[in-house]
Amino acid sequence: AEHQHARYNPLRDDWVLVSAHRVKRPWQGQLEKPPPEDVPRWDPKNPLCPGATRANGEVNPQYEGTFVFPNDFPALQPDAPEPGDSDHPLFRAAAARGVCKVMCFHPWSDLTLPLMSLAEIRAVIDAWAELAAELGASYPWVQIFENKGAMMGCSNPHPHCQVWASSFLPNEARLEDRTQRQHLSQHGVPMLLEYAEQEARRKERLVVENVDWLVVVPYWATWPYQTLLLPRRHVCRLQDLCDSERDSLASIMQRLLIKYDNLFEVSFPYSMGWHGAPTGPFLEEDCGHWQLHAHYYPPLLRSATVRKFMVGYEMLAQAQRDLTPEQAAERLRSLPKVHYKQRSK
């Protein structure tokens, strides 16, 4: 806890430098603006609101639950042409096709996931699983991800996520596929199943848990309050979860996100995403080395206005963090279970 050291990340086959003493250094750098607290519940000018008109002229229905629609500015399109042949191995290109969708969690713009009911969060999970199955029938990778907060590049405060399906395995997917395959081959058990069992026993990095799931600040965490959401049983894909596991997932997500908001009493920014076994042609293959999991990457370090910057050494050498994962987990674990906005004054 007091001396710098490096920790190995077996999921990414890389290392992170832990320098816990650096969190004490004075800060005269950039201060972020806290997220706005006065987001209107409905705004006809907000393209994600029910009944609003989007940039392409489409009018949203008066939706009352989740709402999925094609991204009006997609990074991937299904009919992109093949790139030309390369004349040198240092100048290679490959086809990249896919579809991009946006999913609104709720019709209200001022309601984030931790403030939604368990039934509403469960509806989000069901929509995720449905999209993962639908797009995964033909595409090898379906990436569900949420960027929450302007600090994480989110351009609209309305609660929503994105789903990108691609004709290729992205870098992180290929890396996790390789490391998990190697671990199963060498140790005879899926890496993250074994890891979850170890963390459930050790407790020191545990944040919240229930009968089906646990959330930890991983031993190799890079971001200050990074967490990893893991199922207790071996499950490869989101769409493989049974009803009771989806209910308990809604519960543990709510508990985690309430703690995040309570940490600095602010709507906590993060980027999160689900990783599971590849789909499309991989549905016919044995993907037993995979274990479903979700990553949460929040940038805040000391307060609602001081973030962790991944620059300099992190960009040119390797990741570095300013407090230990155990310290981060203890702080998150000790936070109240009731959201700060819902406590009686």
71 annotated binding-site participant: yes
Sheet order of strands, 5-9 included: 5-9, 14-18, 319-321
Residue 55 labelled as part of a binding site: yes
Is 232 annotated in a binding site? The answer is no
Whether residue 65 contacts residue 45, with contact meaning beta carbons closer than 8 Å, is answered with no
User: Whole-angstrom Cα distance, residue 98 to residue 96?
Assistant: 7
Burial 158-191 (b: 16+ CB within 10 A, else e): bbbbbbbbbbbbeeebeebbebbbebbeeeeebb
21 flagged as catalytic: no
Question: Tokens for 230?
Answer: 């893991």
Annotated binding residue 162: yes
**178 marked among binding-site residues:** no
Residue 124 assigned ligand-binding role: no
The response to whether 22 counts as a known ligand-binding position is yes
As a whole number of angstroms, the distance between CA 199 and CA 212 comes to: 14
Please give the angle made by the CA atoms of 64, 67 and 71, to the nearest 5 degrees: 150
According to the annotation, is 180 in a ligand binding site? no
The sign of the dihedral angle between the CA atoms of 267, 272, 274, 280 is positive
DSSP letters, 50-89, are: TT-B-TTS-B----SS-EEEE-SS-S--TTPPPPPPPSST
Is 275 known as a binding-site position?
Answer: yes
**Known binder of ligand: residue 309?**
yes
* 247 annotated to bind ligand: no
Residue 186 annotated as lining a ligand binding site? no
Q: Report d(CA 151, CA 266) in Å as an integer.
A: 13
The bridge status of strand 319-321 relative to strand 14-18 is parallel
Is 101 labelled a binding residue?
no
List, in sequence order, the alpha helices (H) in 153-291: 171-187, 191-202, 243-264
345 assigned binding-site residue: no
Among 160, 183, 187, 339, the active-site one is 160
State yes or no: 129 annotated in a binding site. Answer: no
Residues noted as catalytic: 160
Annotated binding site: 22-25, 55, 71-72, 147, 153-155, 162, 176, 275, 293, 295, 308-309, 313-314, 320
Annotated binding site for UDP-alpha-D-glucose: 22-25, 55, 71-72, 147, 153-155, 162, 308-309, 313-314, 320
Annotated binding site for Fe cation: 176, 275, 293, 295
